[in-house]
Structures are given as structure tokens and as C-alpha cells.
A and B are shown apart, each in its own frame.
Chain A
Amino acid sequence: MKNLIAVMMLGFLFAGQFSGQVFANDYQRKSISQVQVLVSNNGVSSKNASLSASLLDAQLTSKLNLPRFDINPIPDAALTSFNQAVSEWSELDSQQIQRAISQYLQPELSRILNDPLVQQRRMGRQNAQENKMDLASTKGQSSGMVLSDYEWLMNAAFVAVPYIKERSFSVLTEDVECVVDGGILWYQFQDDGQGNQMMVLVADTQSTMKGYSSFKLPKDKKKRRQYNIPSSVYRKAQDKALRIWITDLSVKVRQLPQFRLSGTVLSVQGRVYDMNLGVKDGVKMDDSFLLYEMVETSKGIYPKRKGYLQVLQVGQVEGETQSVSRLVQRLGQTRGAGGWLEEYARTGLDFQPVFLKKEGLSVPYQSLILTERNGGLLPILNSDVSRGYGVMGRLSYNLAPWVNVSQLFVYLRGQSLVLDASVSEGVSGIPYLRSAYGGLIKKWWWRGQNVYLGVGLGSDELRFKGSLGAKSIELKARSLGASILLGAERLLGPNLSLSAYAAWQANLAVTGGHYHIGDDRWDWSDIKETSTFSDLKLGGASIGFGLNYSISSFSGVVNAFSIVF
């Protein structure tokens, strides 16, 4: 039954996640040449939105310069002619770009690809993956390239044309939002060996990302009306949007069938697999791979997914010898050698929505008695509150590729709890708790499940927004806290896990807050010597159940998360 559920979830999750082609061969290195990013000023009206194309270009290049590529730069002279041609266009047109590439860049690219030194370098790095047994290798002449090598060399070259087709800015309440919409056009060099060459558009990797930057409006209404948002706020929002746009593109590039890493299963011991890719191909710890085998059906022979694996140990051999990485199978039944592994590139971000219950809160009703201007007392609650129910959203990011510690995550969680409270007569509204915590989590796996331990620091804020008759009431009380998490997850599919956790949290006394009654406001300096907000303890113990979702692309969930929090 559990296998059936797993298979169903696997199928459901893979639908639409994976773009089509699967290759049974080992990954063959691609030659990449990149032109400077083409920026359209479409949608930009503000003078504050200046963009340094060269700086953006440098950032893009460093992200796209993956170890799996052979970067072959195009000389500036050829790029100048190309850039001049495209700068005269009012709109970006992929067909026009294709013609410009054919006219200005193709001859130069052909010259680079035909250079014997470039060919030897590319063959050397590719041949490291091969087990040669033939006469050429017997005689130590494995660099004697044959027709199939030239076919590959001349048809595995790509030109990347990054572009931004639209940038827009919107002013929200106390935030500036910048939306960047663009992508990368990928053109492949195609040579039939008889002097016929062309550049063909093979992919358009698109991304739309948002960035936010906050500003503080003055309290005075008159000053608020005259307030001009500084240009630095716009620039910051744009920088954030561009940064995440570039990161999203680098993930999407790795998901393209042409650039996805593919390696052979060399041997299997239990659930541990050896694969013929390593650090020089860009494999990193905790990278995900899908296991395939060919299956013969009545309609032909097709690849079939057989499992999901994660990198346990990265093969460290550099240079021109074979590198072997070790992976552990998390989902699927164990298979023998002979299948192949396809990279399943994701962002490294996990999102965990959880429903939770918190106990051990201490919100005495006396601590929420507000003092009015006329000296009157306004109780918000009828009784003490000790529990709440709500939702939590946690974003965690795998640090393994950088720190070389497997399954170490940094997390940021936001939580919203409705207190199980009854408010005083005449008062309308619900008190709730909002939290923001950050910390580290370490997971330990066994097959398709794990347990994890985490620590974090953050703050909780008790809030209330309601009214008493015609008077509006709003309050906020903040305290700092530390938490320890203990949880468990069970993989349902490569992207999805069932999750359960428990957390213990200890908080300091309230360190800040304010409240409004109508147009009157009391700040922390007014409150701290009073009994309002005193004895509030916002810590406690929580248990929660939910899901853990590994994000394949930065759009969607992340944008929603950034809006909410």
C-alpha cells in the first residue's frame, strides 16, 4: 500500500516538473559562449531604475560558469558588431537575434570550435569518462579523435543570449516592489561536416522575479504626503530582484535536457550507488538524481524512472581521470548497475507548511488591560490564555554544497497562531501571535525517512486588532526567544515529504510594543513601567504536522512567501 501511495505521489509530482527528454548516454560537455545581456527599457519609467549591464553581465557569467561547461569566450571584436546590431532594435525578437548571431558570431564560433587546441582540451575532459579498450588506447593514442568525436565537438556548442524584456516598479504601503522579467535564449551551433552550419534556437529559459525594499513613512501626515521615496530604495529592490532572477535562471539552466548531468551507475552495494561523475562535472553534496532504466514495451523501448537518490560523497578527482561519486537511494527499490542517473536540479530550498498547536503560553488577562487617555481600563481578554492554533511556513536552505556537511540547513520560519481566547464583552477581534525565527537544522536519514534537530533564535509578537464600539483597538507586544526543534520526515516523492515536529521555545520578557485606542497611541516608553504587557510569556511547546516541499524554481512559492512575510 505504501509503495502504491509512493508511486502515485511520484507520478503526480513528476507531472509537469520534468521537461520531456531523458538521455541514456553519459553527459557530454557543452561549449558555451555568452553575449552581453540585452536590456529592454520596456516598462521602466522611473529615472531611479538605472541598470549597469556590464555588472549584471559579470554576475550572470559567474553563475552560468558551471563546471559542466567548457566556456569559450567570443572575442570583443565580434561582440561589438553583434551588440551594435541588437542595440538598434526597439524590441527583442528571438528570430532577429538568431540572424544577428549567424551573421556576426557564427564565423568566430566556427573558428574557435575548429581550433585543434580547443578540440583537444574538450576531448581530454570528455574522454576522462570513457573506458577505452580499442587499438587507439592500446597504442596510447586515445587522443586520435574520430568522426563521432568531431560530430559531437561541432554540435555541442551553444550561444547564450541573456535578456531582460521588462522591469517595473510598484509602490506598496511601505515597500517598493521591482519585477524583472527576462530569460536566456539558447542557440545551438549545428554543423553537418560538409560546410553547412547554422545557429538554431533550442531553448528559452524564462524567469520573472520580484524584489522588495522597505522604507519608513513619516508619522506626520503632512510630511507623509510630501515624502519622496529615495532612489536607493528602488535600487535595492531592483538588486534583490536581479539577484534572485539570476539564481533562478542558473537553476533552470541545469534543468534543461541539454545541460542536465547524466551519469552511468557503475556499481551498487545495498542502497549505495557509484556514479561516474564528480567534482569536476559540478556534482555537489546532497545533489539529487533520478535513476532510470530502459524498459521494453509493446510500443518500443523507453526510459522508466526507478528511483530517487542523493549524493552522499562527491568524487574529488580533478583533471582527466574518472571521478566516482557515491549516492544513496532514498526512494524506489534497489537496482543493479547498468542504469543511469539524471540530475534533478532544484533550488536547494525547502518549504514546509505546517499546522500546529502551541501549549505553555502565558498570556494573563491582566497583562492585556489597556489604560485609556481618560484613565479608564479596557480589558481585552476575559481569561488567561495558554494555547493557540495556527500555521507555520518554514523556508530552509541546504548549506551542504558550501560547507560540505550533508543535510545541514539554515532556516527561516514564520508562524501565525490564533490564541484560544475569549475576548471581553463589547470587544471584537481575535488576539494572535506572529513569530519569525531563524536557525540551523541537521537531518539524519535512513532510507526514505529522516529525523532532524534544529536550533533557532527569533522573536514573537502578540497582536490584536479589533474594536470596542466605534473605537478601533490595536496592540503589539514583542519578545525575543530561542527554540529547539525535533522532527521527522517521510519522503513521499523526490519533492514531497510528510513532516511532524515538536519545538520547545523559551522567551525573554516583552522588550517592545505599542497600542492604539482610536487616534491615541501609547509607545513602549509609555507602557514599560505599567502592568500592561507585563508577565507575558510567549514561549511554550509546539507540535505540528504538515508537508515539506523541495522547490524546483524560485518563482511562485518564494514570491508568495516574500509577500506574506
Chain B
Amino acid sequence: MRIINVFRIGCVLLMLGSAVHAVVPIAKQAVLQEAASSSEVVVLATGIYHTQGTKAWTKKRDVRKNGLKNALLDAKRSALYVLLFSGTDPLLQTKDSELRFSAISEMFYSSSVMSDFIVFEGRSPKEKILMNNETSLKVLLELRINRERLRSYLEEQGVLEKRESLVEKMGRPMLMVLPQAKGEQSPLALLSQDENLGHAAGVIQSALTSRQYEVVLPDQIKMIQELSSGQYQLSDSGVDMSYQLAMSVGSDLYLDYQVTQSESDYDTQQFAVSIRAFETTTGRLLGAETGYSEMRKGADFLSIEEAVQNSLDQVLSRIMNYWKTDLVKGGQYKVLVRIPDNIFDRSELEQVQDSMLDVLSSMSNYTKESLITNATMDLIIWCDVDRYSTPRKVYRAIRDQFNLVNNRARLVLVNQNRKLVLMTLEAI
């Protein structure tokens, strides 16, 4: 035990020691200008060089000879630094990841490694300013950085946890993309009527699929809905409300978006696209961001794409943060139990409900009661993903344990998808 503690303390000291000698850019200033594509961002970074000379004339000579080269290097480092540590969604969001990064920072900030992420840089700095009586130099450099390549590198170096490992445990998140609808409006109708909304949907779907999310398309849902309606009509069971409910929660998360247009000078228009991400099972808002396009005349679709790219990055970052946080608790499911009328009296009903709650508590890591009424029990449970890797296993465990302890009613499955277990009680 003592040896293990000594080992742990030694590791911490080693990492701290590395942190003391970590390479850090001087300027640490950069501005994210826009998302040039789903994986690349354009950054305007500041780089600073302070001379090492002693006399005034040697300092000035040093700045003339070495200033630009070193200031440009500092600008590249600053650009990457801001992506790692600053902004609304930095890549390094925990102290642990920052500590792990400091151990590799010297290697990371070398020109050979940085050139892997910097896809394009301006041929010459946008600005070059001599400071401190011409003994220091500041430059502004425009860079295009591949953030996905940067993230992959950090994952390979063990600074960030691999998204693949998360995906393997949780299954790939399934996302649905719908335009924001007000009141009785149908999102599907909006999509077919407004070409701007349709284009925005296409851009969002393209960005999501490029990052290997599973995307459920509203038009596919409609097709399946039509097929399903046909099936249930054959069995004379009429419209199945549960089926419609199951479809609306068929995705892990859903995104809704809104496209607005405003007029500006010289008859130019600016588009703003607001994207919100929701947890389907609870309707909880996970993140929202608005992206803006340049003010331009014509080229509406281009502007929409630009606005989408500028907002989607941040939203997806919030989604992944939520996903990682939720993993700690386990696999999340919405459990809905429909209690038919008139099969239990009041005391029996309470007994049955208590039994159900006990069963759910015993087989899950966490439970959260959303709604308990005479007709419905609506709960969220988090289960161990190793024991309950599929919703079917979750249902089987609930059914078997409930049927064991209760001789007044038995649990029957109505519908089940990757996020929802819809059951009903039948009197024995």
C-alpha cells in the first residue's frame, strides 16, 4: 500500500514537473473567424516575439533577423492554444486532460507536429507591428486548422478519451433533425414548404454523417409511419398511439433548428441559424447555439450553410459532453408503464406501483420518477451497460423480477426501442 502511494505521488510529481517546463505560447490570443467546413476552422491568431538581446541595437537587429519567424511560430501556437483551452467549447475541458497535455506540450508545439493540424496559413501576416521601441514584434496570422485531426492526435496521445470507446459502450447516438415548429404546425410540412429549411436540414445531416453520427431523416420516418399504419390496419387495431410515441423517441437526441433572415445595407441579407439539442427521453435542452452568416446579396443557400457550420460545432460539442457525463451513470432508458382502468382497486394499485418501483430500484444504478398517476408510471432509469447492454435485457429483468414478486398483475411489453420500454399491466 505504501509502495503504491509512493508510486502515485511520484507520478503526480513527474507530471507537475513536466507542467513546470511546459511550452506555452506568448500571445495566447486568437479569434475563431468561421467554420470553413465540418472539420476545419479559420482562426486569426496573434504571435509575439520578444528579443533576447541586451543592447538596443542588438535587440533591434535580433528582431529584424529572427523576429518574424518566431512571431509566426508563436501565432500558430496561440491558435492551437485557444482551440485547446479557450472559447465556449475548448477541447480540454477538465483539469486531468490539461495536466496530461502539459506533459506533451513541448512536443505538441513543435513545428513538425503543428503542421499536421494547420491545413493552410496566410502567405504573409495580415499585420505586423513593432513594439517596445522596435525590440518586440507582434503579428496577426490567418490559419485554417483541422480540428478533427487535432482531436484524433490528442486521443492517440492519451490526452483525451477516445470517442470510439464511448461509442462502443453506449452505441452510436442516433440523432433526428427537425425544423422548429410552432403550435399545430407539422415540422414535416415545414420542410416541404420552405426550401431554406430543407437546405439547412441537408447541411446539418451532412455535417452529422461526416462525424459518423446516426441520423434519422424525417422523410424516412414518414415512410416508415405509412408502412406501420398499413400493418396495424391489417390487424384491425386502429391507429396505435404508442407506436407514434415510440417513433418520436426513436432517437437518442434530436436537434431542432430555425432559420431567420434579416436585411442589411446595400440590399444584403444575413442568415441566422439557431440549433437546439434535446434529450429525447426527457425533452431536456442540452445545448443551443446560433450561427450567423456574412451579409451578402443572393447566394442564400451558401449563407445558410455558413450559419449552420458556425453553430453546429458548439452544439455537437455540448452533445458529446452530455454523452460522456451520462455514461458515468449508465445506460439511460425511459420506462413507461400503462395501468389499465378498473383492474385494480386503490390499495392493490399502490401495492403494484410500490412493487414496480422496488424492482426498478434494485436492477438499476439510478432511478428518477417523472410522473406517477393512477394510469401511468413514467420513470427514467440508468442501468449498468455491461449487465444490460440492450433495452430487451432491461425489459426482461424488469418483467422477471416484477412477475416474481407480484401475483396480482403481470407485466407485458407494448413497445420497446433503444431508449424506451413501454409496458402495460394485465390482471392475472
Contact = CB atoms under 8 A, between A and B. Distances in A.
A192 B67 contact: no
B36 interface: yes
Interface stretch (A329-337, A418-426, A488-496): A329-337
Nearest to A264: B124
Contacts of B294: 136, 146-147
A21 interface: no
Interface in A104-150: 131, 133-136, 138-139, 141, 144-147, 150
A266 B123 contact: yes
A529 to B, nearest CB: 73
A147 B33 CA distance: 16
A136 B306 contact: yes
Contacts of A192: 265
B309 A135 contact: yes
B299 interface: yes
Contacts, number: 106
Interface string A429-450: 0000000000000000000000
B124 A135 contact: no
B35 A135 contact: yes
A135 B130 contact: no
B318 interface: no
Interface in A1-39: 24
Of A133, A134, A264, most B-chain CB atoms within 10 Å: A133
A293 B144 CA distance: 25
B324 interface: no
B124 A139 contact: no
B266 to A, nearest CB: 4
A75 interface: no
Interface in B17-42: 33-37, 42
A296 B305 contact: no
Given A133-B42, A133-B144, A147 B266 contact: yes
Of B36, B128, B134, most A-chain CB atoms within 10 Å: B128
Contacts of A265: 124
Contacts of A296: 129-132, 138
Interface in A150-179: 150-151, 154
A293 B128 contact: yes
B127 interface: yes
A193 interface: yes
A393 B331 CA distance: 95
A151 B265 contact: yes
B64 A334 contact: yes
Interface string B368-391: 000000000000000000000000
B266 A294 contact: no
Interface residues of A, number: 37
Contacts of A301: 129
Nearest to B144: A133
Contacts of B309: 135
Interface residues of B, number: 41
Given A133-B142, A135-B37, A147 B265 contact: yes
Interface in B283-340: 294-299, 302-303, 305-306, 309
Contacts of A133: 36, 42, 120, 122, 142, 144
A145 B302 CA distance: 11
A334 B65 CA distance: 9
Interface in A235-280: 264-267
Given A131-B123, A133-B142, A336 B265 contact: no
Contacts of A218: none
B97 to A, nearest CB: 29
A193 B123 contact: no
Contacts of A336: 64, 67-69, 128
Contacts of B110: none
A339 interface: yes
Given A133-B36, A135-B306, A150 B125 contact: no
A194 interface: yes
B142 A150 contact: no
Contact of B127 (A131, A135, A294): A294
B296 A145 contact: yes
B268 interface: yes
A67 interface: no
A295 interface: yes
Nearest to A268: B68
B186 interface: no
Interface in B137-181: 138-139, 142, 144
A338 interface: yes
A136 B293 CA distance: 10
Contact of B139 (A139, A304, A333, A338): A338
Given A264-B124, A295-B130, A333-B64, A135 B299 contact: no
Given A135-B306, A194-B265, A146 B34 contact: no
A147 B134 CA distance: 36
A194 B64 CA distance: 47
B127 A193 contact: no
A326 to B, nearest CB: 15
B296 A338 contact: no
A133 B131 CA distance: 29
Contact of B302 (A135, A293, A333): A135
A235 B127 CA distance: 54
A497 B95 CA distance: 65
B294 to A, nearest CB: 4
B124 A147 contact: no
Contacts of B134: 295
A128 to B, nearest CB: 14
B264 interface: yes
Contacts of A147: 264-266, 268, 294-296
Contact of A267 (B35, B124, B144, B264): B124
A138 B306 CA distance: 11
Contact of A294 (B123, B129, B299): B129
A193 B268 CA distance: 10
Contact of B33 (A131, A134, A144): A134
B40 to A, nearest CB: 8
B302 A337 contact: no
B299 A144 contact: yes
B68 A139 contact: no
Nearest to A338: B128
Interface of A: 24, 131, 133-136, 138-139, 141, 144-147, 150-151, 154, 191-194, 264-267, 293-296, 301, 304, 333-339
Given A139-B302, A144-B303, 17 more contacts: A131-B122, A131-B142, A133-B120, A134-B34, A135-B35, A135-B306, A136-B302, A144-B302, A146-B296, A265-B124, A294-B130, A295-B130, A295-B134, A304-B130, A334-B64, A336-B128, A338-B68
Q: Ordered nearest first, which 3 A-B pairs have the shortest CB separation?
A: A193-B265, A338-B128, A336-B68
17 contacts: A133-B142, A134-B34, A135-B305, A136-B299, A138-B36, A141-B302, A146-B295, A147-B264, A151-B266, A154-B266, A293-B130, A294-B130, A296-B129, A296-B132, A304-B130, A336-B68, A337-B125
